[in-house]
Amino acid sequence: MPEREGTGRVLSRSPIFFWLVAVVLAAADLVSKHLIFQRLPERESAPVVMVRGFFHIVHSENRGGVFGLGQGLAIWLVFGLIAGAAVVWFAHRKDARAVLTQIALGLVLGGAIGNLYDRVVLGYVRDFVVVYYWPGKDWPAFNVADAGICVGAGYLAVYAFFFAPREDKKKA
């Protein structure tokens, strides 16, 4: 049955790229954390220097939220669950069918799954990548999930601000 304008489905039938990317990223995150934390089992373990003064692998336990803010607050678990549900809902919407949008949303959900797993099972998120942006100055430790969330959210923000169709343009 053909859809009439204005009465189309809100949910997409096939968010295959979304689910594929989410599963692959969550698996990559959990496997990388497992491998790294086998090698560096203690917080006091010496970092593995990949590129001296630029990129190190460390053992870091984040009991807070973004960049370690709000240490020990359970609200981060609730926020992660709500955000994950919102991403799933949006990924299934008809207006989110574009492949790049599906991939970006998959990155966000995959990252959320990886970090939520850590929060629920361990009580903290395992971070292990440290990048130095200036001699002696490093970015807070992060993991594969964090990188996926940042790349996905970054794409969505750039798209929304610069490329998404605007209502006022549609009317003109």
Residues that are catalytic: 127, 146
Give the count of beta carbons closer than 10 Å to the beta carbon of residue 101: 23
* Rounded Cα–Cα distance for residues 165 and 118 (Å): 38
* Rounded Cα–Cα distance for residues 29 and 127 (Å): 10
Residue 168's H or E segment, with its range, is helix 167-171
Q: What is the DSSP string of 15-59?
A: -HHHHHHHHHHHHHHHHHHHHHHHHS-STTSPPEEEETTTEEEEE
The residue written with tokens 């601000």 in the block is: 161
